[in-house]
A and B are shown apart, each in its own frame.
Chain A
Amino acid sequence: RKEVEQDPGPFNVPEGATVAFNCTYSNSASQSFFWYRQDCRKEPKLLMSVYSSGNEDGRFTAQLNRASQYISLLIRDSKLSDSATYLCVVNSATNAGKSTFGDGTTLTVKP
C-alpha cells in the first residue's frame, strides 16, 4: 500500500461545478499536510497548507481528518484555469523535512 493515496481521477467537470478530491495517508504520526498544484509537467507549486481546523482560501477549502487519516480539497465554482493536477503531500513526523507526494489527481474544467 502506498503511503499517500489519491483519487485516481481524471475529473472532468463543467465550469461552475464544485469538485472534491480526497487523499488518504497511512502513517498516523504524520505531521503536516499540503495540497500542491502542477500544470502540464511544470514544477509543483503550493496551493495551500491543511490545518486540523480546516482552512479556506477563496474558492478552495482544505480539510484534515486525523481519525480517518485523510485530507480533502474542495473547489467551488470551478474555473477553466483550475485545470491542473493536484498533488497531496504529507510530511513525516520522524523526519519533518521529508515529504511524501501522492500521484496526483487530474482536473479538467470544460466550458
Chain B
Amino acid sequence: DAGITQSPRYKITETGRQVTLMCHQTWSHSYMFWYRQDLGHGLRLIYYSAAADITDKGEVPDGYVVSRSKTENFPLTLESATRSQTSVYFCASSESQAGGYEQYFGPGTRLTVT
C-alpha cells in the first residue's frame, strides 16, 4: 500500500534550469494538489486537478506548469527555476467522502535553487 509518493525527496538545482517534481498516488483519487511551504507562510496552493486532463491554478501558479495525463500522476515542472522557488513542495490527493474531502499528503520534496 504505497499511498502517495514524491520524487525526488531532495533536489538542488541552478537558477534557470528546468526541474520536474513527480507525484504518484495509488488510490485512484480524483483530486490532486501541489503546495509549497516556506518559513513564515503556511501551505500555499500552486495548482490542483479535479481529474485527469483537468487542472486549475491555485494561489501561487506563476513559474510552474502541471499536467495530468493519468489519474495517478501529477508532475509539477519549474520551467526556469529561480531562487524564490526554493521551498518544500508537498503533493496531496483526495476523494469525495461523506463529511468532506480529507487530503493525504506525500512526504514532500525539498528543493534548493542556487
Question: Which A residues are within 8 Å of any B CB, using their own CB?
Answer: 31-34, 41-46, 49, 51, 87, 89, 91, 96-104
Contacts and interface: CB of A to CB of B under 8 A. Distances in A.
Contacts of A51: 99
Nearest to A31: B100
Nearest to A44: B105
A46 B100 CA distance: 12
Q: How large is the interface on B (under 10, 10 to 19, 20 to 34, 35 or more residues)?
A: 20 to 34
A42 B48 contact: no
A43 B50 contact: no
Contacts of A96: 96, 100-101
Interface of B: 30-31, 33, 35, 37, 41-43, 45, 48, 50, 58, 88, 90, 94, 96, 99-108
Given A34-B100, A42-B108, A98 B88 contact: no
Contacts of A97: 30-31, 48, 50, 94, 96, 101
A87 B37 contact: no
A10 to B, nearest CB: 14
B37 A99 contact: no
Nearest to A96: B101
Contacts, number: 59
Contact of A32 (B43, B100, B104): B100
Given A41-B37, A87-B42, 7 more contacts: A32-B99, A34-B102, A96-B100, A97-B101, A98-B45, A99-B103, A104-B42
B107 A43 contact: yes
A75 B60 CA distance: 33
B108 A49 contact: no
7 nearest CB pairs, A to B: A32-B100, A103-B42, A43-B105, A97-B31, A101-B43, A101-B42, A46-B102
Nearest to B105: A43
A33 B105 contact: no
B90 A49 contact: no
A41 B103 CA distance: 17
A38 to B, nearest CB: 9
Nearest to A49: B99
